[in-house]
Structure 1
Amino acid sequence: MRTDSAAAADPLVHPLAGRRVLVGISGSIAAVKLPLVVSSLVQCGAEVRCLVTPSAAQLVSPVALASLSRNPCNLDADQWSHRAARPLHVELAEWSELVLVAPLSATSLGRWVHGLADSLLASTLLATEAPVLAAAAMNTSMWISPGVRRNWELLQGFERVLPLGPTAGLLACDRQGDGRMAEPQQLLLALQCLQLWGWQRDWAGLRLLVTAGPTREPLDPARFLTNPSSGLMGVLLAQAARLRGAEVTLVHGPLTVDSQLLEGLACVPVQTAADMERALVRLQPCADAIAMAAAVADHRRQQPLPHKLTKEELSVELASGWQPVPDLLAGLVSRRHPGQRILGFAAQSGDVLAQARAKWARKGCDLLFANPIDQADAGFGVNSNHGWLLGGQGGEQRIEPGSKLAIAQQLLTALRP
């Protein structure tokens, strides 16, 4: 019996815990990132096997992958053996519950979409019936070449496949441009979304506006009023919607999440509630739906002071000079156009449901998700959450404890126009 942290991973917090994940690595320099991905999958509690093409084996050590995954690393030379009762590609295809192909090179992409079974990876991809996350990576000129573009378009139509295109950045060939593989945190997030929701792109063609994180209301140059929100819930909502096909804009205050989790999002950073309000007024008309997940400060100074206060001055200033921050959610509701759906959030302590009912009636939004902040497994600064969703067809729906990403998927399903 395993006794390490991976074996003890909680499936409520780690959606990949207990899942059998096959990691296929093809020949791109981005393969050097995969040991970190494999290690992270094992730490999340997944059972991992690796499959490496001959060109990838020149870039990343099969021995290292075997050690990190706690399973033998599979190579082309292993595909056929008189000692094996079944072909290896069939065994791997049937063993896997999820498949990650990263990086997906131009060659492996071409073999896959044209049904060529002349390698272990190609044969396994053709044989598997498991959901596949395919993360492309290559030189910019290769990525924009007509042949690769046609092959990538073909892959978009494959059942059970979630294609993850490359992003722009500095490539290993010293070129700036598209072709950079999604970062490890993005790969893990997309795999979790694939496990939780699947490959369906039910938000395709829709535009979602999300707010996340705290705001900061300055008192003087050294102090401000804020709260402990990390912004994780809003960021996960935005990313889950993007992977489900939405065009997403994220308006966020100062975040304390891994910057890799912002990859692929159109981000509008703000500091104060006034900054956020201006951004919302500008962006709301183009949105089909809005998720107001930001934890906006309730009060602000009428006039922030230009100099740092002494301790003695501070005690005096804290007693006066504050004004309520305008209700940004109520403003969204008052300005919304017909058909625009709005999800609000309520972070509560004590009797969450009773307070949520009152807030929902007062705000007038379509949906309101209320969660406790006085419990260890919910609220600010943790990866799990639970609470109540008010509105929609469910009326009052209890949201059971789970990862914030799993709850984001539930909220998106309820919010979809």
Structure 2
Amino acid sequence: MKRVLLIVGGGIAAYKCLELVRRGRDRGIAMRCVMTEAATRFVTPLSFASLTGEAVHTDLFALDEDTEIDHIRLSREADLVVVAPATADLLAKLAGGIADSLAGAVLLATDKPVLVAPAMNPRMWSHPATRRNVARLKDDGVAFVGPNAGEMAERNEAGEGRMAEPHEILDAIETLLGASPQKSLAGKRVIVTSGPTHEPIDPVRYLANRSSGKQGHAIAAAAAAAGADVTLVSGPVSIADPAGVRTVHVETAQQMLAAVEEALPVDIAVCAAAVADWRPDSEGGQKMKKDGSGAAPDLRLVENPDILLSLSRHHTLRPRLVVGFAAETENVIEHARAKLERKGCDLIVANDVSQATGIMGGDRNTVHLVAAGSVEDWAEMGKADVATRLVDRVAEMLVAK
């Protein structure tokens, strides 16, 4: 029987968690409960204790019978941690790593997957601070279910912010616990490239593409959440390495290619990095100086290795599925189709990165999946959501192969 640690937040939706526990038991999922102080104002700990058959934990400094602090033991004994309802306050504390309560300490101490079911007023959900916290948590690999749109507890209030229904949360729990093998990447090896490459001109200057690495890192995190053994080869970025992922840091395209080849063989390769197409034919040993003539320096460029092409055409260790990215500023679909044919990969994820879209460095993306004979257009969504949906699609394609 799978064990879930349920952290009940302080919101009116806390009463739904009683139904969540009961239905979970019917599905063979055992739940143990942690309640925030605010949650006990809405539902009594006795109610959850009666349904779970176990003591409910509320005190950060409580010791168990072996004098072990509760948050350490609780974080280790669960297969999955679920936060429901996940209030704006809980999301902010989780995003900031604040552990001033038992719930916060458990979330900071756990090495298990975390699923949150947000519930709050629509204006709180749409507030920029909450949106930043949600984006950070998704980048960190936290899974989300909901919120849904509908009537709020407050009179004459409606919008997006209702906690997902118990059956929806249980479906998400079962998926994270591996109950959806047709979409699982368990046992699969995946390599993801992310970020830009820096091609040195001299000790202080370099050629590069504009790339934050947010999309590639999110894909690596989503693949790991789906059970894959993931190697992320990252160019220079300012974001944290995803949890549960083996990350190799590189600077140049040549270093990235070497790291990718070192990681082979793999089942799936996702080339999301914005690799510089060219590099200087030689790196100056000293900083280049202006000579006062107004003339530009003679900068000779040579073509960088094509990592996507190398993987797609690999004679002996080609991954079963190779996915490339096409960042375009015009004729997005046409250029993506041409790239798909030229590179010999299985799928191209294309997007418009012209200045008007604000995609480069942003938290949202609009992509088009271009395969042989088909194009699928996705609506704009967060980059973490793109990553989760793309991993699901890749898993389906792998099964079909």
Q: Under a length normalisation based on structure 2, what TM-score does the superposition of the two structures give?
A: 0.61
Cα deviation for residue 189 of structure 1 reads 4.8
Q: Is contact 1:241–1:248 with CA below 8 Å preserved after alignment? A: yes
Cα deviation for residue 331 of structure 1 reads 0.6
1:289 aligned to 2:268? yes
2:301 maps to 322
CA distance in 1, matches of 2:368, 2:33: 51
2:207 maps to 225
1:181 aligned to 2:146? no
Alignment of 1:67-216 (within 5 A): 73-75=38-40, 79=44, 115-119=52-56, 138-139=71-72, 151-152=77-78, 155=79, 180-181=109-110, 185-186=136-137, 189-195=140-146, 198-199=172-173, 200=175, 201=178, 202-216=184-198
2:219 maps to 237
Letter in 2 for 1:328: I
CA distance in 1, matches of 2:293, 2:342: 35
Q: Is contact 1:254–1:269 with CA below 8 Å preserved after alignment? A: yes
Cα deviation for residue 326 of structure 1 reads 1.5
Letter in 2 for 1:218: P
Cα deviation for residue 296 of structure 1 reads 0.3
Over the residues paired in the alignment, what is the CA RMSD in angstroms? Answer: 4.2
CA distance in 1, matches of 2:244, 2:228: 12
1:388 maps to 368
In structure 2, the CA distance between the partners of 1:48 and 1:371, relative to structure 1 (3 Å rule), is: farther
Cα deviation for residue 377 of structure 1 reads 4.0
| SS of equivalent residue, structure 1 residue 307 | coil
Q: Is contact 1:76–1:120 with CA below 8 Å preserved after alignment? A: no
1:331 maps to 310
| SS of equivalent residue, structure 2 residue 380 | strand
How many equivalent pairs are there? 290
| SS of equivalent residue, structure 1 residue 396 | strand
Q: Deviations over 1:351-375 (max 9, x none)?
A: 1111111111111100001100115
Q: Is contact 2:366–2:381 with CA below 8 Å preserved after alignment? A: yes
Gapped runs of 5+ residues in structure 2? 1-5, 18-31, 59-68, 85-98, 101-107, 115-132, 148-170, 179-183
1:248 aligned to 2:185? no
Q: Is contact 2:8–2:34 with CA below 8 Å preserved after alignment? A: no
Q: Deviations over 1:96-134 (max 9, x none)?
A: xxxxxxxxxxxxxxx89x94244388xxxxxxxxxxxxx
1:265 maps to 245
Cα deviation for residue 402 of structure 1 reads 1.1
| SS of equivalent residue, structure 2 residue 359 | coil
Q: Is contact 2:325–2:350 with CA below 8 Å preserved after alignment? A: yes
| SS of equivalent residue, structure 1 residue 198 | helix
2:62 maps to none
Cα deviation for residue 408 of structure 1 reads 1.2
Alignment of 1:50-69 (within 5 A): 62=37
Q: Deviations over 1:63-84 (max 9, x none)?
A: xxxxxxxxxx12289518xxxx
Q: Is contact 2:33–2:56 with CA below 8 Å preserved after alignment? A: no
| SS of equivalent residue, structure 1 residue 308 | coil
1:276 maps to 256
Cα deviation for residue 321 of structure 1 reads 1.8
Q: Under a length normalisation based on structure 1, what TM-score does the superposition of the two structures give?
A: 0.59
CA distance in 2, matches of 1:187, 1:385: 14
| SS of equivalent residue, structure 1 residue 262 | coil
> % of aligned pairs identical?
28
CA distance in 2, matches of 1:288, 1:313: 55
1:35 maps to none
2:333 maps to 353
CA distance in 1, matches of 2:44, 2:310: 61
Cα deviation for residue 181 of structure 1 reads 3.1
1:409 aligned to 2:388? yes
Q: Is contact 1:229–1:295 with CA below 8 Å preserved after alignment? A: yes
2:280 maps to 301
Cα deviation for residue 262 of structure 1 reads 2.2
Letter in 1 for 2:254: A
1:24 aligned to 2:8? yes
Q: Is contact 2:139–2:214 with CA below 8 Å preserved after alignment? A: no
CA distance in 2, matches of 1:251, 1:117: 44
1:5 maps to none
